Chains A and B, each alone.
Chain A
Amino acid sequence: MMIINRNIAISETGFVFNPINGESFSVNPIGYEVISLMKENKQADEIMQYLLANYQVEPETCRKDLEDFMGMLKHHLLLEDKE
C-alpha cells in the first residue's frame, strides 16, 4: 500500500516541500485536497468517493486522473510503501 510521505509539508497555496530531498512542487487546489486527504490516511477509494461527491466528474475519468496523480507523486518520491 502506498501512503504519502508523512514528512511532506504542504501549504494551502498548494506548495509542496519534501524535506528529505529538498524538492518543491506546486499542485492545483484539487491536488492540494487529495494530498491533504492522504495525509489524513484516507485510502484511494475514499479519496475517489470524496472527489465524486464534490466535483462533477465521471467515475472512470476520476479513477484515471487519480491514478495518474498518484503515479506522479510516486515518481517524485512523495509516496512511500507501507508494508
Chain B
Amino acid sequence: MKTKNKRKLTIGVTGLNAIDSPGPGIAVIRGLREATSFKTRIIGLSYESLEPGIYMHDLVDRIFQIPYPTAGTEPLLSRLEYIHEQEPLNVIIPNFDAELFSFIKLEPRLKQMGISLFLPTLKQFEERHKANLLDFGKKYHIRVPFSKIIYDPGEVQRLDKEFSFPVVVKGKFYDATIAATPEQARTCFNKTAAKWGLPVIIQEFVDGTEFNITGLGDGKGKMIAGVAMRKQYITDKGKAWGGISIQDPKILALAEKFIRATRWRGGFELELMKDKNNELYLLEINPRMPAWIYLAVGVGQNIPEALVNLALGQPVEPYKDYEVGKMFIRYSWDMIVDREEYEKISVMGEL
C-alpha cells in the first residue's frame, strides 16, 4: 500500500463520550484512522471535560471544546472559526442528533470557510423526526407503528381509545419506555417530559425482534453502503454492547427504499422491529452514524471514510457486500489520566 502520496485530511469529530450510552465519535475515528484513501489528523470536538475520547491520544490529535447546541448557531460558528484558525479543518463529522440542526444550518457558511460536511438536508432531518414518523411512513409507503404526539398529560388518560396497551413512551430526542397500563403511561409521560421536554411520543408497541441497519446515502438516491446488525447484548439503557452482522434481504431492501425515496444525504441508522408475521416496522431513523459503526468498518464497509470522500466531492463506488456473522463486543477500560490534562481542557477548553 502506497501511503506517502496520500493526502492528509484534518477532520473534526464530535461524540467523544465513549460511555455506557456511547456517542459514535470514537468508532467513527477508528474508521477514519483505517481509511486507505487518505491520512488523517483528528480534531476532537467535545462538550464536557470528562468525555473519554478527549484523553485517547492515540486516536485524537487535538481537542477543542465547543458550545452546547442550546447556545445556538452563532456561538458555535465563532468557536469553529477559532478552531479553524488553529487547525485548518477539511471536514467536520457531527455525531449527535441534538447538534445536527445547528451544523445543517451552518453548512453553507462552513463551506465558504473551506470546511465540508455531508449531512441530511433540513427537510430530511425534520421529516424523519420521531414526532413526524407516522407521516413519514405514509408519505414513503414504509410501515411504521401507529403513534401520537402528546403535549398535555390529560391526553394520556384518553390513550386507551386509540391504543391497546402496552405502549412505548418516547422522548423527542432520546429514551423509550414501555408502559403496560394508562397509569404507567402517565408516569412515563411526566418523567420523559421533564427530561427531554415536550412533545412526548406515544407509539404502538410492536412485539418482535429488533434489528438495526446503518448506511450511507449519496444525496441523489443511491445507497453507498449498508450493513445490518442484530443486537446480542443489550444494556439497561437499551444500547448494544454486542452485536452480529446479518444479511436479511428484506432489511437491506428497506434501507435502499428509504435512501431512494428520500434521496438521503449522509450517514444514518434505521431501528427496525420484525414482528411474528415477519413484517418489518421502522421504529426510528437516526440521522447520523450509530455508535456501532465500527462493525461496518470491520465487515468491509468503511462508512466514515466514504462519507468524508462524499463530503469532499470525491467519487465513491458503492459497497457491494460485507462479511456476515462478524461480531462486535464492547468493553470498558480504565484510562489513567494526568490531572493537568483535565485541568487544561476544563480551564482552557482545548488540549
Contact = CB atoms under 8 A, between A and B. Distances in A.
A9 interface: yes
B255 interface: no
Nearest to A9: B325
Nearest to B246: A22
Contacts of B324: 19
Contacts of B247: 7, 19-20
B232 interface: yes
A24 B207 CA distance: 21
A32 interface: no
Interface in B239-254: 243-248
Sorting the interface of chain A by its residue count into under 10, 10 to 19, 20 to 34 or 35 or more gives under 10
Contacts of B124: none
A21 interface: yes
Contact of A20 (B229, B243, B246): B246
Contacts of B62: none
Contacts, number: 25
B255 to A, nearest CB: 15
B230 interface: yes
B209 interface: yes
Interface string B198-210: 0000000000010
A59 B247 CA distance: 39
- Say what secondary structure dominates the interface of chain B: strand
Interface residues of B, number: 14
Nearest to B244: A22
Contacts of B325: 9, 17, 19
Contacts of A9: 325
Contacts of B229: 22
A16 to B, nearest CB: 11
A9 to B, nearest CB: 7
Interface in B217-276: 229-230, 232, 243-248, 274
Interface in A1-48: 7, 9, 17, 19-23
Contacts of B230: 21-23
A70 to B, nearest CB: 19
Contacts of A19: 246-247, 324-325
Interface string B114-139: 00000000000000000000000000
A15 B244 CA distance: 15
A79 B289 CA distance: 34
Contacts of B246: 19-22
Interface in A29-80: none
Interface in B256-314: 274
A10 to B, nearest CB: 12
Contacts of A7: 247
A83 B250 CA distance: 20
Interface string B313-351: 000000000001100000000000000000000000000
A17 B232 CA distance: 13
Interface string B149-167: 0000000000000000000
Contacts of A21: 209, 211, 230, 246, 248, 274
Contacts of B243: 22
A9 B247 CA distance: 13
Name the 6 nearest CB pairs between A and B, nearest first: A22-B230, A22-B246, A19-B324, A22-B244, A20-B248, A19-B247
Interface of B: 209, 211, 229-230, 232, 243-248, 274, 324-325
25 contacts: A7-B247, A9-B325, A17-B325, A19-B246, A19-B247, A19-B324, A19-B325, A20-B246, A20-B247, A20-B248, A21-B209, A21-B211, A21-B230, A21-B246, A21-B248, A21-B274, A22-B211, A22-B229, A22-B230, A22-B232, A22-B243, A22-B244, A22-B245, A22-B246, A23-B230
Given A20-B248, A23-B230, 5 more contacts: A20-B247, A21-B211, A21-B246, A22-B230, A22-B243
